[in-house]
Amino acid sequence: MAPNAASGDDDDDFTAFTIVVDASACGGLDRDGLRCVAYPSSARVGSADGDVAARAAAANRVEFDDIERERAIDAAWAARVRENGLLFNATKFRFASARNAEEDIATTTPSNARVVVELGITDYKTFLCTNLAADWRAHVRDDGLGAPATVTVGAPTSPSSSRLMDLRYRHFADALGNCVMLHTTDDKFMMLQRSESVGEAPGAVVFPGGHAEPSAVNVADAVIDVSHLMFTAAMDELEEELGVGQEHINRVVCLGITRRVVNARSCMIFYAECRLTADEALALYPSAEHGFESHRAFSAILSDFENPEFMSRVPGDHCGAV
C-alpha cells in the first residue's frame, strides 16, 4: 500500500488519502488473520451486558446535535432518488475502529488474528447524506486529537494508536467499502471506469468493489463475527462488477483499510491473484450482473500507477491501495 498522501492542504483533493490499517509489509491478511466484529445499534442490545452495550454505542453513528439537520437526511435522500431513480437504500457496515490483535482484551479473539476491526450498522441513505453531502466538512468534529495512528501489522504499536475511534467522524455513516486489486497472469490489474449514473464518484477509475451487506447475515440483536463475510463480499463484488468468479481466483488477502480525505470515505483493500490473463478477464465483463454500474473495464500495468495523469482519475481510497 502507498504511504499516506494527505495534508492540511488536501481537503479538496479527491485523490488524497490516509492509511488506517497497513498489512502490506506482511503480505496481507488471510481470512484467519483478520477479525471483523459487527455490533447492532446500542438500542437493540439494551439487555446485554454493559461492555457489549458500550461497544455497540461506540461502533454506531451518533446523530447530529441539530435535530433539523438529522431530519434533513430523509429530505436529502428523497431529492437524490428523484434525480437518480437507480439509487436504492440498503444496510451497510459502519467502520468504527481497528487495532492490533495483541491489544484486544476480548477472550474471543482467535490466537492467529493479527488485526481486529469493529463495525456498526448504517445504511446507504445516511452515507449519501452525511459522508457524501455537499456540506460534509461542516460536520467533522475537531476534538483536537487528530486521527489515530496507522495500525501497521508486525510493527511496534504507536502510543497514539491506543485511541481506537476516529471521533471526528462520529456523525457520519462511514459505510465501509471494499475494492479488489485483481492481478492477472500477465502482470496486469483489472480496473473499471464508473458509470455517470452511480451515486458516488461517477466517471472515476476504480478497482472493482462495493460494500459487504449486513443483510447477508443476522446482525439484528447479537454481536457477530463477520470476518469471512468481508472476504466473501469482496469476491462477490468482483464477480458482479467484472464477471470474474471465485473459480478464477488462486489467493486473496486483505492489504488493509484506507480513508479518502474527501468525504472521509473508508475502504477495505483486497489483493487477489487471478488464473486468467487480462484479455480473458475482460472477455467475462459482458456477463457481469452489475456491469451497468461501470462504463467500461480495462487493464492497467504497474507503470500506470506511477503516472500522475492516470492516478488523478482514481479516488483517494483506491489510490491508497497502490
Query: From CA 53, how far away is CA 11, in angstroms rounded?
Result: 35
Query: From CA 99, how far away is CA 96, in angstroms rounded?
Result: 11
Q: What is the pLDDT of residues 170-227, one digit of tens each?
A: 999 999 999 999 999 999 999 999 999 998 999 999 999 999 999 998 776 788 999 9
- Is residue 165 over pLDDT 90? no
The answer to whether the CB of 305 falls within 8 A of the CB of 312 is no
Dihedral angle sign, alpha carbons of residues 212, 214, 218, 224: positive
Q: What is the pLDDT of residues 28-74, one digit of tens each?
A: 999 999 999 999 876 566 655 677 888 889 999 999 999 999 999 99
In a domain? residue 7:
no
Whole-Å CA distances, 105 to 51, 99, 110, 116, 166: 12, 11, 11, 11, 20
In a domain? residue 1:
no
Q: What is the pLDDT of residues 112-164, one digit of tens each?
A: 899 999 999 999 999 999 999 999 999 999 777 667 789 998 665 544 344 46
In the prediction, which pLDDT does 133 show? Answer: 95
Burial 15-33 (b: 16+ CB within 10 A, else e): bbbbbbbbbbeeebbeeeb
Query: From CA 211, how far away is CA 234, in angstroms rounded?
Result: 8
Least confident of 96-105, 229-238, 240-249, 276-285: 96-105
> How are the residues of the chain apportioned to helix, strand and coil, as percentages rounded to the nearest 5?
30, 25, 40
**Alpha helical stretches, state H, 60-176:** 67-83, 124-128
Q: What is the pLDDT of residues 301-315, one digit of tens each?
A: 999 999 999 999 999
In a domain? residue 4:
no
In a domain? residue 3:
no
In a domain? residue 38:
yes
The three cell numbers locating residue 89: 437504500
Q: What is the DSSP string of 199-254?
A: SSSTT-EE-SEEE--GGGS--SSS-EE-HHHHHHHHHHHHHHHH---GGGEEEEEE
Q: What is the pLDDT of residues 91-126, one digit of tens each?
A: 999 999 999 987 655 545 556 899 999 999 999 999
- The rounded radius of gyration (Å) of the Cα atoms in the chain is 19
- Is residue 274 over pLDDT 80? yes
The answer to whether the CB of 259 falls within 8 A of the CB of 169 is no
In a domain? residue 139:
yes
144: left (phi over 0), alpha (psi -120 to 50) or beta: left
Q: Per the structure, how many domains does the chain have?
A: 1
Closest CA to 246 of 255, 265, 233: 233
pTM: 0.92
Helix or strand run (H / E) with residue 259? strand 249-260
CATH number assigned to the domain comprising residue 121:
3.90.79.10
Whole-Å CA distances, 283 to 244, 280, 297: 9, 5, 10
In the prediction, which pLDDT does 43 show? Answer: 59
Q: What is the DSSP letter of 38?
A: E
In a domain? residue 5:
no
- Give the domain range for residue 178: 17-319
In a domain? residue 12:
no
